[in-house]
Every structure is written in structure tokens, then in C-alpha cells.
Chain A
């Protein structure tokens, strides 16, 4: 991680090296700020419900269930852990979300940002 060190003077009373956790909290990314705001206002929960509804309506959830069943059938019911299943399915899931669903959610997030006046 690059930091500008032009003006730092070496001194005996140098402050202790900050660890990873502190560092991240000092500089929250925009992503984090938006996320926190959305959770606090309850918007995130509403958007999650909307997303779930849309994904069911367009058949995405059924398709994912079929993929899970196929995976478990292939590997054997007792040989699959939850983590392995999630790891196998997630990339396909992310790739197959319909554009219209993405567009609608982005629209909602945009509206939220405008209203939260960030």
C-alpha cells in the first residue's frame, strides 16, 4: 500500500505502526459509506426484498436450484459442503442476473443516493 512519505521525519518519538484494522477504518471507501447509510436507513433491506422478488419472477432462483441439484448429484450428496456449493454456484449466479434486474436496482440506488444527498 503506497503512502506519501515526503514530509515524515524520522524521530525517536515515532508513533507506533498502525495495524490493518485501524488503517481501513481511518479511510472508509465510498462503497462502505454508501453501504452503511443504506443499512442504517433500512433501504438495504428493502432492496434485498425487491431483488429477491425479481430474481424469483424471472426464473433465476429456479435455475440456481437446478444447478445446485445437478452439482450435488454429480459430487454425491454426502460429499458436498455448503462452502463448496456456494463457491461452485456463485460465479454462474452472478453472471446470469438479467440486465433488467441490474438496471432496476441501480436506478433505485441512484434515487437513494440523491435523496440521501451524498
Chain B
């Protein structure tokens, strides 16, 4: 059980539950064990008598919630306090169990009760009942702790380097803008590149890596036969942008280099920023990852691109006929989300009709994440092979986050392709996004736990103590149409938002960012930001001794 969040505490047992546990221990649970039945959807319910439907002892009702007394096995229903009646007529019979859900209920308190022993008992029963393959135990096995520490440890040492770096360059600041902000010239429809570069230039772990000279373009030995090394070109940009110079920089060398890598995209046509971002990470991995860590796959790769952005997604496919679930893990460097165009039913008193009201409901990032992790019923044309049934069955698919990366990149799928009409269109729908994000409810541990009902037990101990709170630091926005549009990036430095529109950098208010049409959103783990601000808070960002001159192209 994880107790890392101070706001959430496991509820304390009421006196009746404590009494019951003292007197009867686990006997009550063991007696009913043989009557449990797990349905394919994962629900554990109690079924005492196969021939009769369960009825309330007092009113013979069979509707609503039915509670099964753990001492005398009498059933009471939730109507008119029949459960309370039971405990009044028979002293000491306080604890009952919800027949349908297998959850504990205290009849005296009229409230749900939680007990970790009971939860463990129930979940074990459920897991044993559900069909499994021989190798399924792997999915619940703990990963070695070493890996976890390695990822976090690296960042800590980076910060020490950057601290020294900042104090050295402080004297060269020439304007009122913070260090590290510099416009990028548009070299011909290259706003897609500039926007992603601006976001990466301010991605904390990425920034620290290059600024602490971990990849020096002058001493690099990893160049390919043609003398190409994308990380070197990135290092050049970092040096240029963080040099203190304020005139807009032209990343021509980088563009040329990238064209060499991706010959098919070498043109002045507009490109997609997300595609560019992914291809950039790929190129960095090629240079760094494959060369130095040839035997590791994507999940363990230690190249800077993967160390910063790589997370692990879990995909569970459940057979609706027998309940067998198979899980697969895939690494990812970003998460592509569909917009949640939820259709709300109107809640006015008089109006009870169902409306397809897309205009009144708002899409939110959390809504998109809910949609992403919601169990999806695959159509009957997509029947998947079930190892247990040995045939194709209707299945449910559910995604969740097994391991979160240091930096999360959300990609909003704003381009809709219609195969019927053979055209694509852009979805301009506004998406509301938070500045702080807690990914805990979308972790595999949380998602899987929900399948077993209201429980306190945590199955997945891997990464359950890993940080889940994130802070936004960059948003790449798109305006315009599918064929011709413009990308602009908003970056947040020390709680101030800056608009990076190619060569022009301006200070903007929060609400401008919130109102923008987000396309790519970058969130960094809160712990990294906190640590950074602790280290650097003492250093002045705007020098008091030099002449403050606003320079054309910046303010």
C-alpha cells in the first residue's frame, strides 16, 4: 500500500469492523470463499444458491444493494434500512458484504468499510479465478530497483554542472530577457522546426545535458562517415542560444544536417512539428544510443533522448468471454491523444432529453487522458485471439502508463483523416489544459486496481513511489489550416510565459497561453523543477550592473 500522498489516507476502520476482526479474524472470509464467483468482466460476486435469486430477509426484495451478513449469512437490502434492522435484531452482526461487489459494509455506521486483509483475500481469489498464461506472473514481477535510481541520479549530477555554468555566463547578459531566450529565424516555412527547438531548448534535463558539455561538438567522435552528428548540431544551437547574444539566430547548419538525415523531407514545404520532434529524437538515439549502448532496446536505452522522454505504456487486452487478460509493454516517447468530444446530457431540471451538445461541453487534457485509459470495446470485426479460449473473441482493450518519463510530451491529434471522403481536415476545437498535472490515476497500478472494485490494496509495486506530479513548461501551438498554418511556442521560465514566434520573443500573460490552440504540450516532473529552483534561486537573472538595452527582434 502506498501512502506517499498526504492528501489521501487509507480510511481507519470503524469500531464495529475492528471488533469483528478481533473476534472472528479471517474466519468469516474463509467460510464464504467457495461461494465467490468471478465474472469475465473481473467482478467478484457472491452466489450462494445457484437456483434462487438472493432476497432480503425482511421484505423479500431483490432490488438495490443486497448485504450479506458475515456472521449469520442473512441477506438484507438497502431499502428502508433493512440492514440496520438486521443489526438491531441480532446484536453484534454489524459487518456485511455487498453481494454484487464483494465490498464490506458496516450496518451500524450505514457506510462502506475497508479492510486490507479482506481486500487482499478477495483480490487473490479474483486473480486465481481468472484464466492466466504460464508467463503471466512476469507482468506482476518487480523490476530491479537499480534502473529507477539510475534515471533520477543522472539528473541530479547535471544540475551541479549547470549551476557553475550559469554563474560564469552571468556577466554576458545584455538585455532584460532571461538567459536562454533567443529568437530563431524562419528559413522558409521552418516554423515547425523552430517551435520544437524552442521547446527542447527549455526542457530542463535536455538543457542540463547539453549545457554541461556532455556532448561537445568540437570533441565529438561519433560523427558518421559524412561527418553528420545531430547531437553536435543541437549542441551548436544550445551554445548559440545560451551565449547571451540577443539577435535572432539562424539554425541553418542544423536544418541542413536534418535534411541530410531525412532526405524525403528536405524541402521548403510545411512539415508537421510532431513528426519533426519524433524524427529528431530518433536521430539523437541513432548517434548516441546505438553507438554507445548497442545491446539495449528502447526501454533501457540511456541516450539523452530516451532518458528524458521515454516512458512505458501498458496495453491490456481482455477476452470478454472468459476474462483472460494479456498485457504487453511498449516504450513511447510521446503520447498521442484524441480530443475528448464528450457528449453531455443536459442536467436542467425540466430538460431530460439527450442532446448532442458538442458546443457546450469543453475538451480538457484530463478528459483526453480519461479517454485514453478507458477500456475500449473492440468491434466484432477486430476479434482478437484469446489464448485461453483458443479462438477469436470480442475483446476489451485498455491502456495505462507503466512507467512515466522525466518529460511528458502530449500530442493532440488535430488532423482528422476521412478515408470515405479521401480528405483530411483540421480539428480546431479548443482544449483546456492544466499547468500542473498529476498522472497518478492513469498509472497501470491505479487502472488495474480499479478493476477489482473499491480496494485499498496495490498490486503493482514497481514505480508506485515514483513521482507523478508534473509542471508544464512549453506549449507548441498551431494556427491556421491543415495545408498552411503557423506554429508558435510558449515557454515558461520562472513563472513567466514567453511567446516564441520565430525571431520574435515577447512576454505574455498566462491567459494568452490558456486560450491558445495547443498541439504539443511538454510537462516536466515537478521534483526536477523544484530542485532546480532551489539550486538556482539565489542567482540573479537580470544583471544590475550592465546596460539594459532592448534589442530589435526580442522585446
Contact = CB atoms under 8 A, between A and B. Distances in A.
Contacts, number: 57
B53 A63 contact: no
B496 to A, nearest CB: 33
A100 interface: yes
B353 interface: yes
Interface residues of A, number: 31
Interface stretch (A1-9, A80-88, A106-114): A80-88
Interface residues of B, number: 25
A62 B345 CA distance: 11
Contact of A83 (B110, B343, B352, B353): B110
Contacts of B110: 81-84
Given A39-B53, A81-B109, A25 B345 contact: no
A59 B342 contact: yes
A98 B357 CA distance: 13
A98 to B, nearest CB: 3
Interface in B170-187: none
Among A56, A83, A84, max chain B CB count under 10 A is at A83
Contact of A96 (B65, B111, B347, B374): B347
Contact of A36 (B53, B65, B78): B53
Contacts of B65: 86
Dominant SS at the B interface? loop
Among A59, A92, A101, max chain B CB count under 10 A is at A59
A41 interface: no
A99 interface: yes
Interface string B343-372: 111010000111000000100000000100
Contact of B111 (A39, A60, A83): A83
Contacts of A36: 53
Interface in A66-103: 81-84, 86, 92, 95-101
A36 B78 CA distance: 20
B139 interface: no
A45 B354 CA distance: 25
Contact of B60 (A21, A58, A98, A99): A21
Contact of A63 (B347, B374, B377): B347
Contacts of A35: 53, 62
Contacts of B270: none
A5 to B, nearest CB: 25
B112 interface: yes
Contacts of A62: 342, 370
A100 B354 contact: yes
Given A62-B342, A100-B354, A24 B60 contact: yes
A35 to B, nearest CB: 7
Nearest to B45: A45
Contacts of A63: 344-345, 347
Nearest to B347: A96
Nearest to B357: A59
Contact of A99 (B39, B352, B370): B352
Interface string B101-119: 0000100011110000000
Given A56-B374, A63-B344, A82-B105, A98 B354 contact: yes
A99 B342 contact: no
A98 B346 CA distance: 9
Nearest to B57: A21
Contacts of A86: 65, 78
Interface of A: 20-21, 24-25, 32, 35-36, 39, 45, 49, 53, 56-60, 62-63, 81-84, 86, 92, 95-101
Given A82-B111, A83-B110, 16 more contacts: A24-B60, A35-B62, A39-B53, A45-B39, A49-B41, A58-B344, A59-B344, A59-B345, A60-B345, A62-B342, A82-B110, A82-B112, A83-B111, A86-B78, A98-B345, A98-B354
List the 5 shortest-distance A-B pairs measured between CB atoms, nearest first.
A98-B354, A81-B111, A83-B110, A82-B112, A98-B345
7 contacts: A25-B60, A59-B344, A62-B342, A62-B370, A83-B110, A98-B353, A99-B353
